[in-house]
Structure 1
């Protein structure tokens, strides 16, 4: 099976959904659904209550599949699609009891991940032409799903984990100076990107001269960022190399990101995409036939 840009490997989805179902079903199963007539069937519709962007359809489908493969889920939308209030996203048909058992797990994944995609889309629109990155400020265990939701919202992923590339934050630099840190990274991990956090102009100059590949401009105003961009441009021209990538981060909100849009920086990152996104309100409206 081909993995699309918004997909997570099926085994990851299966494992995470299984863990979520265990929270609801161990040790005795769904006591309420067990009392329903075995002959009862259901036809249900996923209906979104507000405008948004969809993510998490694979998780919702997997929740029903794991509870009962006889339940059939048919989607009218795909991850990454914009949707409007009261739109029907998909249908669920099958035996009533497993539909009800899987309902909350399916909606928890779908609402949470669609909420991330929705906020991300708003951030991307407000930040243009700056590209938008996420961070590692994710729910423990759900990073792969949440980063896929960020992609569905139109942004891109920063590091997936600490092994992706070398990144020196302020706490690293309390023990290593910028020059020493960059030189050590080049020697130890010669094929890795070296990224340095900078809070002041003098650190920017030092990181550029040390040969860092990317700089994180932390908690700077748009005016300060623009000044750093000018310095980085001049440095690249003087040494005849490609300019270091410039990332803007630190306290930037949906309301303020637009002020950074034309500073000349390359990307803006925000932990709020994954740690502060409200759930997209999606319900499962059920009709029952016995």
Structure 2
């Protein structure tokens, strides 16, 4: 994703902030989750219920947060039983509070109970990611993007990155094919200048970024023609000095700050002129958002 500047100087993505995850990934993740719950015999408890009994379930937030995962919930109920009908009151990215009605599901009670836990697991987890993303976004200066990282749950990356967008933050690279990032462990095997030169020759058109933990590496990376530098685990003052070095040498070079960023420290880091700050905690440490499904009986109830 290219970054641009409005006249006011605030960094903005040159595209709309889409929050929906890829539909194919949603289907695949839900299918795996349901197989995990229903193999080999199915829901042996819900099989005991009369199939004619219907119910209404209300998705209700128990705490404050930001919503994500609605597509996963819809897909879960559809895969379990297309007769289940969902009616969403809120979309992904919406803010919720204790008692907020998010949506309802109506249809066969047995099917609803079979889908319940898978739906709530995905909704709670992804809403937790969106909620933490929103907190980091609120704590940072508006001039600096807040990025996620590849520190995601295996198999859920595209869904978690959609949740990050729902929380108002933006996505770093999605996988190892998207751009070249020479991290400290890569630099064990190749020098910065040589690594950048090899990357430019092998992958023209790919962004080439170099992770730097000291000023000398920043200077070498910019001189070598890196498109981006990552200032890793530097103090605010150290990072500010390195940003000044980059801006003087190549104003087009993107500057990212990363390494142990917290809700308490992102503010100062976001006010020293970096383009973006990446935070692994958004996806690897987000607590589940407490959302419940309150079910009431419908037709066929005893």
Shorter-chain TM-score bucket reads over 0.9
Inter-partner Cα distance in structure 2 for 1:122 and 1:110:
18
Give the conservation status (yes or no) of the 8 Å contact 2:58–2:102: yes
Measured against aligned partners, the alpha-carbon deviations of 1:41-74 in whole angstroms (never above 9, x if no partner) come to: 1011000001111000000011111111000011
1:206 to 212, 220, 223: 220
Report how many aligned residue pairs link the two structures.
283
The alignment's TM-score, normalised by the length of structure 2, stands at 0.92
The answer on 1:76 being equivalent to 2:85 is no
Query: SS at 2:20's partner residue?
Result: coil
The answer on 1:283 being equivalent to 2:292 is yes
What runs of 5+ residues in structure 2 fail to find an aligned partner? 1-15
Task: Give the equivalent residue in structure 2 for 1:252.
Answer: 261
Q: How does 1:253-272 map to 2 (within 5 A)?
A: 253-272=262-281
Q: How does 1:86-235 map to 2 (within 5 A)?
A: 86-129=99-142, 130-235=144-249
Measured against aligned partners, the alpha-carbon deviations of 1:77-113 in whole angstroms (never above 9, x if no partner) come to: 0011111111000001001000000000000000000
Query: SS at 2:73's partner residue?
Result: helix
Query: SS at 2:198's partner residue?
Result: helix
2:59 to 39, 46, 52: 46
Measured against aligned partners, the alpha-carbon deviations of 1:116-155 in whole angstroms (never above 9, x if no partner) come to: 0000000011112221010000000000100000011111
Inter-partner Cα distance in structure 2 for 1:86 and 1:255:
29
Moved more, 27-36 or 4-13: 4-13
Task: Give the equivalent residue in structure 2 for 1:239.
Answer: none
The alignment's TM-score, normalised by the length of structure 1, stands at 0.96
Task: Give the equivalent residue in structure 1 for 2:282.
Answer: 273
Structure 1 segments of 4 or more deviating over 3 A? none
The answer on 1:62 being equivalent to 2:71 is no
Moved more, 8-17 or 206-215: 8-17
Moved more, 93-102 or 33-42: 33-42
The answer on 1:35 being equivalent to 2:44 is no
Give the conservation status (yes or no) of the 8 Å contact 2:17–2:165: no
Inter-partner Cα distance in structure 1 for 2:68 and 2:182:
32
Task: Give the equivalent residue in structure 1 for 2:6.
Answer: none
Task: Give the equivalent residue in structure 2 for 1:243.
Answer: 252
Query: SS at 1:171's partner residue?
Result: coil
> Which has the larger share of helix?
1
Deviation at 1:234, TM superposition (A): 1.4
User: Alignment RMSD, CA only?
Assistant: 1.1
